[in-house]
C-alpha cells in the first residue's frame, strides 16, 4: 500500500469526519476554552484561568456527585458482567428453545430509559407495587427510593443493569461460543471437573472479551444521566446526583457555564483515563495495518 | 462436556429454574406494564392477583383524548429516527468502504480518531452546541436531532461497515474497475448489494438509539420536534400525581414497535454488536 492517501478515499471519509469534527471535536475543544472563562448566556466571557476548576473542586455537591457516580458505576458494571457471564455460560451449556430465549434476553435492549423508569417505579411503588408487596411478604422493609438516597441509588443501579445486560451478555456469549469444544472434551478425558475447566479454559479465554465489555460499560456507565434524572431527578436534596446531572444543573438551571464546562472536561479526562488501556491496544492494532 | 456428578433429574430441574429466572428477569417488567395498560385505575394497584381483571381500553382512550401531544411525539420520533438512520448508514457505508479498501498512515490515523472521539460524553458537547444551535435557529427542529443522533453513531457504523466490507472479495471491485466503473459506481453496484447485511446491522443500532434517546431531545427540543420519550417523561413528572394507566398505555405504544423490530432483527443485532465491540 502506498503511503499517500488516494483522493477518492479522502472524499469518501470526509462526510463522517466532518460530522464528528463539527459536532463532537470542535465543541469539545470549545468546552475546554469555556472552562477557563467566566460566562453565561448572552454574556461576554472573561478569562479566569483555572478558577472554575477550583470552584467545582471546592463544591461539596460535586464530590457527592462524583462519589455517587463511582458507586453506581462500580455496582452496575461488576454486577452486570457477573450476571452476563453466568447467563452466557448457562446458554452455552445448552438451553431449550434457544432462539426464543435469546430474543427474550435481548428484549430490554429495545426499552427506552423513560419506559424502564415507568416499569421499575411501578414495581417498587411504596406499599402498592408488586415488588414492594413481595418484600413485605417475606418480611423485608420496602425500598424507599424517593426519600432514602442509598435506596434511590440502588434503584438506579438495578434499572441500569436491567437495561444494559443484553450488551454484556451478547459480547460474552459470542466469545464463549468461539472457544473450540475440543478443548473441553480433552479436559474431560483428562478427568477435569466442571470447575477446573472453567478456571483453566473458559475464564482465561474469555478474558479479552470480559475486558472489552468492562471497558465499554465503564465508559458508558460513567456518563449516566437519563436513569437518574427520570428516577429521582438527583433528589432528595441533591443527594443522588451523578456527574452528568451535576453538569446539567450547573449549565441549564444555574446558568454557570464556566463550572459546567470544567465539570465537562473532568468527565472527558475521566473517560480517557478509563479507556487508556483500550486506546493503547487500539492504537497498536490500527497502525499495524498501515 | 465435563461430567457432572449431579443426578440427571436434578440437573433438568436446575436448568428449568434457570430458564424461568431469565424469562422473569427480562419479561416481567415489560409484560407488567403492557398488561396493566389494559387495566382500570382500580385494578392497577389491586392486591387480588395481577391476572384477574376486566380488560379495558379506557387508558388508551384517555391517552388519545388528553395527551394528543404523545401521538405528535411519536410522529416526530418516526421522522427523526428515519432521518438519522438514512444519514448514518449512508455516510458509514462510504467511510467503511474507504477504510476497508485503502490503507495509508493518514487514513489509519483518521480511523483511530473516529473511535477515540466516541469516548467524549454526549452531555459535554451540549454546552457549546446549545447557544450555537439557538443562534442558527435550529433549536427544536428535526434536523438537529437527526444530525446529533447520526453523528453519535457513525463511528460504530463505520467500524461495523468496514468489518462487513472486508469480507467482500476485492476481486469483485477490481473486476468492475477494469470494466471502467467509477468509485461511486462500484459502491452502488458491487458493494451496496453485498454489504446489505452490514447496513441492516448499523440500522438496527441507529433505530433503537434514535427511537429511545432522551438527553438530546430533552435539551434541544421544546414543542415542535419533541419526541415520544420526552412526552412520556412529561407524563411522569405531571404535577397532579402520576396517572399510571395513561402512562402504561403510552409506554406500551412507544415500546411495542421497537421491541418487535429488535426481535425480528435479532440476528443482525448480534452480528453488529460483536463486529463493532470486539473489533472496534
A65-116: pLDDT as tens digits: 999 999 999 999 999 999 999 999 999 998 989 999 999 999 999 999 999 9
B160 to B16, B134, B153: CA distances (angstroms): 36, 34, 11
- Cα Rg of chain A, angstroms: 23
Cis peptide before B74 (omega within 30 of 0): no
Q: Report yes or no: A62 and A249 within 8 Å, Cβ to Cβ.
A: no
User: Facing residues of A38 across strands?
Assistant: A46
Q: Cβ contact (<8 Å) for B119 and A25?
A: no
A260 within 8 A of B219, measured Cβ to Cβ = no
Q: Does B128 touch chain A (CB under 8 A)?
A: yes
Question: What is the Cα–Cα distance from B114 to B120, expressed in whole angstroms?
Answer: 11
pLDDT of residue B272: 86
Whole-prediction pTM value? 0.92
Single out the residue of A26, A50, A28 nearest to residue A38, CA to CA. A50
Closest CA to A155 of A74, A63, A240, A87: A240
pLDDT for position A162: 97
Question: Residue B39 in contact with residue B193, Cβ under 8 Å?
Answer: no
Of B7, B199, B19, the closest CA to residue B94 belongs to B199
Chain A residue with CA closest to B150: the answer is A19
Cell numbers standing for residue A5: 492517501
Instruction: Provide CB contacts within 8 A for B60, sequence distance 6+.
Output: B37, B249, B253
Identify the CA nearest to A222 among candidates A243, A236, A239: A243
The CA R_g of chain B, rounded to the nearest whole Å, is 24
Q: Are A274 and A215 in contact (CB under 8 A)?
A: yes
Interface of A with B in 29-68 (CB under 8 A): 30-31, 34, 41
* Residues B249 and B63: beta-carbon distance below 8 Å: yes
**Min Cα separation A60/chain B (Å):** 21
Is residue A260 exposed (0-12), middle (13-18) or buried (19+ Cβ within 10 Å)?
A: buried
The DSSP letter of residue A178 is T
Contacts of B261 in chain A (CB under 8 A): 110
Amino acid A1: pLDDT: 45
Q: CA–CA separation, B47 vs B32, rounded Å? A: 14
Backbone angles phi, psi at A190, to 5 degrees: -75, 0
Q: A37: which strand partners?
A: A47
How many CA atoms lie less than 13 Å away from A98 in the CB half-sphere?
Answer: 10
Partner-chain contact B277 A212, CB within 8 Å: yes
- State the Cα–Cα distance between residues B152 and B138, nearest whole angstrom: 18
Q: Is B65 on the interface with A (CB under 8 A)?
A: no
- Does residue A242 contact residue A225 with C-beta atoms inside 8 Å? yes
Please report the sign of the dihedral spanned by the C-alpha atoms of residue B196, residue B200, residue B203, residue B205. Answer: negative
Q: What's the CA dihedral at A227, A233, A238, A241 to 10 degrees?
A: 20
pLDDT value of residue B133:
94
Backbone angles phi, psi at B70, to 5 degrees: -65, -40
- Contact status, residue B244 vs residue A99, Cβ threshold 8 Å: no
What pLDDT shows up at residue A3?
A: 57
Contact B259/A at CB under 8 A: yes
Cβ of B48: how many Cβ atoms within 10 Å? 8
pLDDT of residue A41: 63
CA distance A2 to B194: 27
pLDDT digits (tens, 9 = 90+) for A229-252: 999 999 898 999 999 999 999 999
What is chain A's length? 290
**pLDDT 10s per residue in chain B (280 long)?**
445 567 888 988 999 999 999 999 999 999 999 999 999 888 888 777 677 788 899 999 999 999 999 999 999 999 999 999 999 999 999 999 999 999 888 898 999 999 889 889 999 999 999 989 999 999 999 999 999 999 999 999 999 999 999 999 999 988 998 998 888 899 988 999 999 999 999 999 999 999 999 999 999 999 999 999 999 999 988 755 778 999 999 999 999 999 999 999 998 988 888 777 654 4
At B242, list the grid cell: 402520576
B226, exposed or middle or buried, with CB in 10 Å at 0-12, 13-18, 19+? buried
Q: What is the pLDDT of residue B280?
A: 40
- Cα distances from B102 to residues A7, A76, A101, B108, B180, in angstroms, run 11, 40, 41, 9, 19
B186 touching A (Cβ < 8 Å): no
Does B144 touch chain A if contact means CB atoms closer than 8 Å?
no
Q: Which residue has the cell 483428562?
A: A190
- Average confidence (pLDDT) over A9-34: 94
User: Which of these, B198, B78, B73, B209, lies nearest to B148 by C-alpha position?
Assistant: B209
Nearest to B158 among A16, A87, A282 (CB): A16
Distance from CA of A244 to the nearest CA of B (A): 7
d(CA B93, CA B159) in angstroms, rounded, equals: 10
Q: Does B271 touch chain A (CB under 8 A)?
A: no
User: What is the structure's pLDDT at A42?
Assistant: 62
Task: Using the predicted structure, report yes or no on whether residue A26 has a pLDDT greater than 80.
Answer: yes
Q: How many Cα atoms are found within 13 Å in the side-chain-facing hemisphere of B14?
A: 10
> What is the three-class DSSP state of B121?
coil
**Residue B3 contacts A where some CB pair is shorter than 8 Å:** yes
pLDDT band per the 50, 70, 90 thresholds, residue A274? confident
pLDDT of residue A132: 85
**How close, in Å, is residue B175 to chain A by CA atoms?**
18
Amino acid at each position: 500500500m502506498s503511503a499517500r492517501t488516494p483522493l477518492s478515499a479522502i472524499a469518501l471519509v470526509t462526510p463522517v469526519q466532518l460530522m464528528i469534527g463539527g459536532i463532537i471535536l470542535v465543541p469539545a475543544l470549545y468546552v475546554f476554552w469555556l472552562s477557563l472563562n467566566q460566562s453565561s448566556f448572552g454574556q461576554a466571557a472573561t478569562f479566569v484561568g483555572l478558577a472554575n476548576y477550583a470552584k467545582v473542586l471546592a463544591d461539596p455537591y460535586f464530590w457527592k456527585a462524583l462519589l455517587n457516580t463511582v458507586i453506581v458505576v462500580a455496582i452496575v458494571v461488576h454486577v452486570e458482567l457477573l450476571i452476563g457471564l453466568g447467563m452466557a455460560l448457562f446458554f452455552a451449556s445448552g438451553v431449550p428453545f434457544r432462539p426464543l430465549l435469546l430474543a427474550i434476553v435481548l428484549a430490554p435492549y429495545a426499552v427506552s430509559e423513560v419506559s424502564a423508569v415507568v416499569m421499575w417505579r411501578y414495581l417498587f411503588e411504596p406499599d402498592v407495587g408488586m415488588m414492594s408487596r413481595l418484600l413485605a411478604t417475606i418480611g423485608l422493609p420496602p425500598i424507599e427510593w424517593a426519600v432514602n438516597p442509598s435506596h434511590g441509588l440502588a434503584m438506579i443501579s438495578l434499572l441500569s443493569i436491567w437495561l444494559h445486560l443484553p450488551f454484556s451478555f451478547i459480547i460474552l456469549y459470542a466469545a464463549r461460543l468461539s472457544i473450540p469444544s475440543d478443548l473441553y472434551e480433552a479436559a474431560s478425558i483428562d478427568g477435569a471437573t466442571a470447575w477446573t475447566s472453567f478456571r483453566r479454559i473458559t475464564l482465561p479465554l474469555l478474558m479479552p472479551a470480559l475486558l472489552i465489555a468492562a471497558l465499554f460499560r465503564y465508559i458508558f456507565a460513567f456518563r449516566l444521566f437519563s436513569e437518574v434524572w427520570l428516577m429521582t431527578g438527583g433528589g432528595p436534596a441533591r443527594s443522588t446526583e451523578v456527574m452528568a446531572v451535576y453538569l446539567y444543573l450547573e449549565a441549564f438551571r444555574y446558568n454557570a457555564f464556566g463550572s459546567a464546562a470544567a465539570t465537562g472536561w473532568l468527565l472527558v479526562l475521566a473517560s480517557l483515563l478509563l479507556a487508556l488501556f483500550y486506546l493503547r491496544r487500539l492504537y497498536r492494532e490500527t497502525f499495524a495495518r498501515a | 462436556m465435563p461430567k457432572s456428578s449431579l443426578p440427571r433429574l436434578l440437573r433438568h430441574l436446575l436448568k428449568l429454574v434457570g430458564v424461568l429466572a431469565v424469562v422473569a428477569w427480562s419479561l416481567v417488567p415489560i409484560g407488567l406494564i403492557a398488561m396493566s395498560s389494559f387495566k382500570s385505575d382500580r385494578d392497577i394497584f389491586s392486591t387480588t392477583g395481577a391476572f384477574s381483571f376486566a380488560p379495558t381500553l379506557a387508558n388508551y382512550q384517555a391517552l388519545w383524548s388528553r395527551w394528543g401531544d404523545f401521538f405528535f411525539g411519536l410522529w416526530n420520533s418516526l421522522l427523526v429516527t428515519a432521518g438519522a438512520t438514512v444519514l448514518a448508514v449512508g455516510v458509514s457505508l462510504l467511510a467503511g468502504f474507504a477504510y476497508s479498501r485503502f490503507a495509508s498512515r493518514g487514513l489509519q490515523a483518521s480511523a483511530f480518531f473516529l473511535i477515540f472521539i466516541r469516548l467524549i460524553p454526549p452531555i459535554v458537547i451540549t454546552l457549546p452546541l446549545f447557544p450555537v444551535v439557538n443562534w442558527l435557529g435550529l433549536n427544536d427542529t428535526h434536523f438537529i436531532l437527526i444530525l446529533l443522533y447520526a453523528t453519535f453513531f457513525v463511528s460504530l457504523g463505520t467500524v461495523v461497515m468496514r468489518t462487513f466490507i472486508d469480507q467482500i472479495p476485492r476481486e469483485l471491485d477490481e473486476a468492475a474497475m477494469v470494466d471502467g466503473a467509477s468509485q461511486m459506481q462500484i459502491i452502488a453496484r458491487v458493494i451496496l448489494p453485498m454489504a446489505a447485511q452490514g447496513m441492516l446491522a448499523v440500522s438496527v443500532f441507529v433505530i433503537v438509539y434514535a427511537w429511545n434517546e432522551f438527553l438530546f431531545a430533552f435539551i434541544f427540543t421544546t414543542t415542535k420536534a419533541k419526541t415520544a420519550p420526552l412526552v412520556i417523561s412529561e407524563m411522569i413528572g405531571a404535577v397532579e400525581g402520576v396517572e399510571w394507566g395513561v402512562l402504561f398505555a403510552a409506554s406500551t405504544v412507544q415500546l411495542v414497535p421497537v421491541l418487535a423490530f429488535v426481535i425480528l432483527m435479532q440476528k443482525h443485532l448480534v452480528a453488529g454488536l460483536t463486529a463493532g465491540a470486539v473489533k472496534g
